[in-house]
Amino acid sequence: MEFICKLSNDHYTEWKSKIISFTDQGSFFEANVEGRGSAILIIFGMSKHGNFICLPDYKTGCYLAHLRDTFWNSEALEPLIGEVDATTVAYALRALQETYFS
């Protein structure tokens, strides 16, 4: 599944990314995302405290807002994985929400 990522900083940047695979593991979800040269494994789900994401390759994770909220989610992820990868992951979550969870 392809989707467009948009970054608004000093200049507007846009790039294509894609979700290579998506699996419902029962109590959580797993996806492989490619964007701007990075391959990112994301594991995400819902706990009693809210949505969460784990990024095993980066040895990190955090809480998320609603999966459609690209601004908040990219802001939460940026200190952990950098601006471009955070934006890619946030837009991947939105694409998954719109395709599988709407």
Where is 42: in which H helix or E strand? strand 38-47
For the chain, which residues make up each domain, given as ranges? 35-102
Question: What is the rounded CA–CA span in Å between residue 1 and residue 19?
Answer: 5
Residue 30 gets the label, from left (phi > 0), alpha (psi -120 to 50) or beta, of beta
What predicted TM-score, i.e. pTM, was given to this entire model?
0.94
Angstrom CA distances, 66 to 13, 52, 59, 90, stand at 24, 10, 22, 10
Question: Who has greater pLDDT, 71 or 12?
Answer: 71
Model confidence pLDDT, tens digit, residues 84-102: 999 999 999 999 999 998 7
Q: Could you read off the pLDDT of 65-85 as tens digits, one per residue?
A: 999 999 999 999 999 999 999
